[in-house]
Amino acid sequence: MPFKYEELGLSNTKAMFEKALNEGYAVPGYNFNNMEQLQAIVTACAQSGSPVILQVSKGARAYANSTMLIYMAHGAVKMVREELKSEIPIALHLDHGGDFEICKSCIDSGFSSVMYDGSHLPYEENIKITKQVVEYAHARGVSVEAELGVLAGIEDDVHAEESTYTDPDKVVDFVNRTGCDSLAISIGTSHGAYKFKVDRIEDVPPLRIDILKEIQQKLGRKYPIVLHGSSSVLQEYVKMINDNGGNLEKAFGVREDQIREATKYGVAKVNIDSDGRLVVTAIIRKIFNEKPKVFDPRKYLGPARDELIKMMKRKNKEVLGCAGAYPSIE
């Protein structure tokens, strides 16, 4: 099923990021693996008038099937245009592409944007493969996100014990030599629900906004910077999970005011995945606990979807600042 992304009603990230940088907000990168998550993401973004990047990881392709995912994304665009009557730009993006082949496979099947993540490789090797992906992608109008520096934490197949901050002295050389359209950097965000090895939320270290400022200065104000691992690990949902038989201990995330601050210094895309996972798990646990007779999946997946919409609309408005960037339907 080879598609060009334009045929699916998708956009690459170029105009999205230009507008975001001009107006000082960030575009959300929300991950999906199933129908309810996807419905929640596009509904929340259409209602709040926010641009959106639908993200698919290698794990999501394995879980939901790569053919199924393309048609789901196409269906989501149709739902936004025909049912919700919204014209927000929608990108379909590969999150953490591990090699050239997976990037090529996504580009050939209709993705409008891919990430090649060579952050774990030696510098020159990262440049070599990123450049190869960029050449293939740009010939087809597809955007490429690359990564320099290493985030700690775990997310699907991506895992690192310790973080290595991005070296501001390398970013210009990297971007010039690879031609990547946006750059994911490491300034203290982290993947997963256990972002920091601390006992109390008060001890969570702040982001290195000083490094971000230096990177922005070097790349210029028009270059889009990306933050991964930017969930706040919302404590109300962690509590709801634990109050209903779960066991998440010392799960802390990045403070929302820090993400908002980062959008002032060139961060044009923010990835939020764990917060959505927590919301879904919290609502399902609560319903299972309070209503033991329920056995219709719609009775717990539906409320989980409603809560996801609420959470994402709040993120778009209060954390990313992108709500209202396009006409909203509410």
Count of CB atoms situated within 10 Å of the CB of 160? 17
Structure tokens at 38: 């996807």
Closer CB to Zn ion, 86 or 113, in the complex: 113
195 sits near Zn ion (criterion: CB under 5 A) = no
Report how far residue 11's alpha carbon sits from residue 143's, in angstroms, rounded to the nearest whole number: 9
Candidate segments 48-56, 215-223, 226-234, 255-263, binder of Zn ion by CB under 5 A: 226-234
Q: How far is the CB of 163 from Zn ion (least distance, A)?
A: 12
State which of residues 58, 93, 195, 228 lies at the interface with Zn ion (CB under 5 A): 228
Q: How far is the CB of 29 from Zn ion (least distance, A)?
A: 9
Using CA atoms, how far residue 188 sits from 66, 109, 167, 243, in Å, is 32, 34, 13, 30
Beta-bridged to residue 29, according to DSSP, are: 53, 271
Q: How far is the CB of 209 from Zn ion (least distance, A)?
A: 20
Q: How far is the CB of 60 from Zn ion (least distance, A)?
A: 13
61 sits near Zn ion (criterion: CB under 5 A) = no
Q: For tokens 């209903």, what's the residue?
A: 244
- 99 given a catalytic annotation: no
Comparing every residue's Cβ against Zn ion, the nearest one is 228
Write down the catalytic residue from 95, 117, 156, 275: 95
Residues 6+ apart with CB under 8 A from 142: 5, 12, 107, 111, 112, 113, 114
Query: Residue 81, SS3?
Result: helix
Closer CB to Zn ion, 49 or 192, in the complex: 192
Give the β-pairing of 143-148 and 182-185. parallel
- Please give the residue ranges that form the binding site for Zn ion (CB under 5 A): 228
Q: Which residues are catalytic?
A: 95
